[in-house]
Structure 1
Amino acid sequence: MDATILLVKNMVCQRCVMAVEAILAAGSIAFQKVTFGEIHLSGALSAEQKAYLKESLDKVGFEMIDSQTGGIVEKIKQLVIKRARNEVPDAERKIKLSLYLSDKVHHEYTYLSSLFSAVEGRTIENYFIEQRIEKAKELLIYDQLTLAEIAFELEYSSAAHLSNQFKKITGLTPTYFKAIGSLKRKALDKI
């Protein structure tokens, strides 16, 4: 049996993976593994299984990606999220974002950048910054690190740089955001 890989939009955390695994199990759909944005099936789906899977994924906020373009954009998003949240090995963190994405997606960065901008209506760099700010929000709400420690964790040059970028994106200072709490956080798939 050949493995089939389905691409799924909005899978950004381990709970997402578990939700998709539960959908597959409930539909008796054989799979090898589920990762962020991908379902590795054991074989091809019947028309009924595909319809069930599409409907079930839609109900919980996921979406099957049918086009190659959509797949590339989703792969870029998954890689940017991991990179912005420092969920990659140290060696990969030191590589420029453009080179990192080109290497992982196997396309020139200029192609990836223009494709992403055309589909998403924003640049990869803006998406990366927004993801870093969401991680900063999360760390501010946890209230376990100082702003300087958060800046270091997210590889900003200084707390002032993080603070300026935070205010530009959210309209709030990190201190004020911390005071009002989680009311201003966004789900990763809504960014």
Structure 2
Amino acid sequence: MKLYIKFMVSLRCKMIVKEELLKLGLKYVALDLGVVEVLQDIRPEQQAQLKSNLMKSGLELLDDKRSILIDKIKNVIIEMIHYSDELPKVNYSDYISEKLGYDYTYLSNIFSEVKGMTIQNFIILHKIEKVKELLLYNELNLTEISYKLHYSSVAHLSNQFKKVTGLSPSFYKRLREKRMSNLEHL
């Protein structure tokens, strides 16, 4: 039986889910971002207890099919951008459609209807978060970051970054460095 869990987007979240399953005596086969496959059927009282326990940690057990599909879309995007060494070479729409086994137009319409933003905008927001992270670590320059995240150019990355954050990437980096420097002098 598969369980879908909203907001399960990190290793810490996976650990919380693992602990809660163990508390209830539930054995699982697979535990991935947003989804857990348990060996046995869950009794209604176990499901209610799991739902309650997960809520205390900011996680939500999903039972609505649309919510489950939205969460799957979000998890594919988060995994693709934040946890893959390299972004896919194909269009994101083809990648998401292939991963989930649904027509992209269908996925896109449901996502926009429920979330109030397009899948593309969701991808852009996560790519910009990844850019911030890479700028913070200071291991790659802007050209390398734009290449890694499949931007057509540094200018395209910079324009998108500024549109989302209101800052240029270089100003953001200087701001972070200044903040870190100020913290060191405390």
TM-score normalised by length of structure 2: 0.88
Match in the other structure for 1:66: 63
Root mean square deviation, CA, Å:
1.8
Asked if the contact 1:117/1:123 (under 8 Å) is kept, the reply is yes
Kindly report which structure 2 residues correspond to 1:69-84, keeping only aligned pairs within 5 A, or say none.
69-84=66-81
Residue 26 (str. 1) matches residue 23 (str. 2): yes
Residue 128 (str. 1) matches residue 141 (str. 2): no
Deviation at 1:169, TM superposition (A): 0.6
Asked if the contact 1:85/1:154 (under 8 Å) is kept, the reply is no
- If asked which structure has higher relative contact order (CA below 8 Å, sep 6+), I would say 1
Question: What is the distance in 1 between the residues matched to 2:83 and 2:38?
Answer: 29
Match in the other structure for 1:165: 160
Query: Any gaps of 5 or more consecutive residues in structure 1?
Result: 183-191
Match in the other structure for 2:51: 54
Asked if the contact 1:31/1:40 (under 8 Å) is kept, the reply is yes
Question: What is the distance in 1 between the residues matched to 2:68 and 2:85?
Answer: 21
Larger radius of gyration: 2
1:132-174 per-residue CA deviation (whole Å, 9 max, x = no partner) reads: 0010111111111111111111111122111110010111111
- The worse-fitting range, judged by mean Cα deviation, of 157-166 and 81-90 is 81-90
Deviation at 1:14, TM superposition (A): 2.1
Cα 1:37–1:166 change in 2 (3 A) is same
Match in the other structure for 1:41: 38
Kindly report which structure 2 residues correspond to 1:95-110, keeping only aligned pairs within 5 A, or say none.
95-110=90-105
Kindly report which structure 2 residues correspond to 1:3-22, keeping only aligned pairs within 5 A, or say none.
4-22=1-19
Asked if the contact 1:7/1:37 (under 8 Å) is kept, the reply is yes
Asked if the contact 1:166/1:174 (under 8 Å) is kept, the reply is yes
Secondary structure at 1:8's aligned position in 2?
Answer: strand
- May I ask how many residue pairs the two structures share in their alignment? 177
Cα 1:64–1:88 change in 2 (3 A) is farther
Match in the other structure for 2:133: 138
1:29-76 per-residue CA deviation (whole Å, 9 max, x = no partner) reads: 222221111111111112221122111111111111111111111111
Question: What is the distance in 2 between the residues matched to 1:85 and 1:159?
Answer: 20
TM-score normalised by length of structure 1: 0.86
Question: What is the distance in 2 between the residues matched to 1:114 and 1:55?
Answer: 31
Question: What is the distance in 1 between the residues matched to 2:85 and 2:170?
Answer: 28
Q: Name the amino acid aligned to 2:98.
A: D
Query: Any gaps of 5 or more consecutive residues in structure 2?
Result: 178-186
Match in the other structure for 1:180: 175
Q: Name the amino acid aligned to 2:124.
A: I
Cα 1:131–1:44 change in 2 (3 A) is same
Question: What is the distance in 2 between the residues matched to 1:106 and 1:88?
Answer: 23
Q: Name the amino acid aligned to 2:132.
A: K
Cα 1:88–1:107 change in 2 (3 A) is farther
